[in-house]
Amino acid sequence: MSSSRVFCYGSMVLLLCAFALPAGAQSFKVQCPKTTPSHLTPAAPNTNPNGGQIKCQQISGGDGYATMGDGTQTYLFSFGPLSGLKKIVNGQPGTDTVSEFNVVSPSLLTSASDATPPPLPTWDGAVGLSPDPDATFTRFGATTQCTNAPSGNTGPNATPASCITGHVDPRQVMDVGVMNGNIPAPMMAIDEDDEFFLTLTNVGMIMRPDLFEQHTVHFHGYPNASSFYDGVPDASVAINIGGSFTYDYLAPDAGTYFWHCHITPPEHLQMGMVGQIFVRPRQNRVTSGTLRAGLLGQQSDLRTRSDCAHDILCTSPVPPVDNGVTHRNNKAGVPTLYAYNDGDGSTAYDVEYPIQIHGFDPNFHFVGMTFNPEPFVDMKDKYFLLNGRSYPDTVKTGPMYTVSADGA
């Protein structure tokens, strides 16, 4: 069986000033802590201390272009990927574990010639992550500035952990993020009970230097969302050009949700600033007693327990232990995944295909690019998109159109 999921600058002077800021004042930073009050111990892959793990991702807010199936160039306001690039190239969500995200970023540039494109990314960490010049580390009893620290990820030349504070090299962030808007926006995938740190970096809109557009991330479907992290600028914060902000979420009930920018949302959504997120159910992790027993069991911690007897917003009870139906192997010989905590295997699937339906009015996008007010009243979509592709690209086949369905 299978299952599909459906979802719904500023000035160049400011950008140059971002490079001129002293290291301590640099505003492009990321956050991906090893532990938090909700997750007191570091989580190795596929373990379940205190229910779930810490997951991290970074995205850019800016602009870009999409080529429609008939060759029309369409201007976008859009989000782009700044972490998990290797996964995204392979058709997977760009969400990382702590150990994947906190990796020193290699240089993206392999040649001074524009005719030689850089290779496909071979790492999944945060773009530009580098030793913090304001931090120190201790070696042979001496305290040394991190500017003199080794820069690597493994072996004797690995960067000391105390030097990885979320500092990023803004040059690499701009190299990747500028004019790299995607439609759909980078996909996210977390597990129920995960704590998710999402950094949004506003790299500015190169084609509209007259605009000082802020951006936010607003999720749909979070029943207990904190207003501060909800992305509605009236009740939270908006991210200015040259700045970054990290949202902190405790994953809600399992399901499929969509997210978008909440700055002038009718305009920013039509221009392309919308994506999707999977929250995978606890049932995927069920083994005998894992969620119930022991000091690290999810139900022993009030911060992560599911209490549907008393919580009126609880729609996702703890699944039963493996009962012979839950977690039987699928046709590929690996444990079956589930859309929800069904308890009986009724929402099992073998592969997953994210499907985002969208529509573009090319005139609306053209006037948005040419310093004119968009005609909302006259807006009429002429391109109908599946995952950012319009006909005839929606029916073409071949290597570049292959969807990777790993179910991971």
Q: Which of 363, 362, 339 is nearest to 351 (CA)?
A: 339
For residues 48-58, average pLDDT: 77
pLDDT band at residue 300 under the 50/70/90 scheme: low
CB within 8 Å of 273: residues ≥ 6 apart: 61, 77, 78, 79, 185, 215, 260, 261
| Confidence at residue 7, expressed as pLDDT on a 0 to 100 scale | 33
Q: 28, 200 in Cβ contact below 8 A?
A: no
Per-residue model confidence as pLDDT tens digits over 19-31: 333 334 457 899 9
| Confidence at residue 291, expressed as pLDDT on a 0 to 100 scale | 58
Task: Report DSSP state, residue 12.
Answer: H
The reply to whether the predicted model has a pTM over 0.75 is yes
Q: Is residue 114 part of a domain?
A: no
| Confidence at residue 106, expressed as pLDDT on a 0 to 100 scale | 75
Q: Is residue 196 part of a domain?
A: yes
Q: Is residue 199 part of a domain?
A: yes
Q: Which pairing describes strands 352-360 and 3-7: parallel, antiparallel, or unpaired?
A: parallel
For residues 151-177, average pLDDT: 84
| Confidence at residue 193, expressed as pLDDT on a 0 to 100 scale | 82
Q: Is residue 31 part of a domain?
A: yes
Per-residue model confidence as pLDDT tens digits over 305-344: 777 777 766 666 777 777 777 777 777 777 788 888 877 7
Produce one character per residue of 279-305: b if its CB has 16 or more CB atoms within 10 Å, e if not: bbbbbbbbeeebbeeeebbbeebeebb
Q: How far is CA 298 from CA 14, 38, 196, 305, 325, in A?
A: 47, 11, 17, 5, 22
For residues 1-5, average pLDDT: 36
For residues 211-230, average pLDDT: 86
Neighbours of 51 (CB within 10 A): 30
Task: Name the more confident of 258 and 398.
Answer: 258
If one counts the domains in the chain, the total is 1
**Treating both helix axes as pointing N-terminal to C-terminal, what angle do 12-20 and 170-177 enclose, rounded to 10 degrees?**
150
CB within 8 Å of 59: residues ≥ 6 apart: 79, 80, 81, 82, 83, 94, 185, 186, 198, 199, 200, 201, 217
Structure tokens, 292: 């119930």
- Average pLDDT over the chain, rounded to an integer: 78
| Confidence at residue 60, expressed as pLDDT on a 0 to 100 scale | 95
Q: Is residue 343 part of a domain?
A: yes
Q: Is residue 368 part of a domain?
A: yes
Distance of CA 141 to the CA centre of its chain: 39
**52: alpha, beta or left? (left if phi > 0; alpha if psi -120 to 50):** left
pLDDT of 112 higher than 60: no
Per-residue model confidence as pLDDT tens digits over 344-380: 778 888 778 889 999 999 988 988 888 888 778 888 8
pLDDT band at residue 118 under the 50/70/90 scheme: low
Q: 378, 30 in Cβ contact below 8 A?
A: no
Q: How far apart are CA 218 and CA 227, in angstroms?
A: 10
pLDDT of 2 higher than 70: no
In the block, which residue shows the tokens 């919308």?
Answer: 274
Task: Name the more confident of 8 and 293.
Answer: 293
Q: Is residue 15 part of a domain?
A: yes
In total, the chain counts a number of residues equal to 408
For residues 66-75, average pLDDT: 89
**345: alpha, beta or left? (left if phi > 0; alpha if psi -120 to 50):** left
What domain range is 98 assigned to? 3-38+49-108+121-129+166-401
| Confidence at residue 221, expressed as pLDDT on a 0 to 100 scale | 82
pLDDT of 292 higher than 50: yes
Q: Is residue 135 part of a domain?
A: no
For residues 235-258, average pLDDT: 89
Produce one character per residue of 12-28: b if its CB has 16 or more CB atoms within 10 Å, e if not: eeebeebeeeeeeebbb
| Confidence at residue 51, expressed as pLDDT on a 0 to 100 scale | 67
pLDDT of 164 higher than 60: yes
Give the CATH number of the domain where residue 290 resides: 2.60.40.420
Per-residue model confidence as pLDDT tens digits over 324-333: 777 777 777 7
pLDDT band at residue 155 under the 50/70/90 scheme: confident
Q: Which pairing describes strands 188-191 and 274-280: parallel, antiparallel, or unpaired?
A: parallel
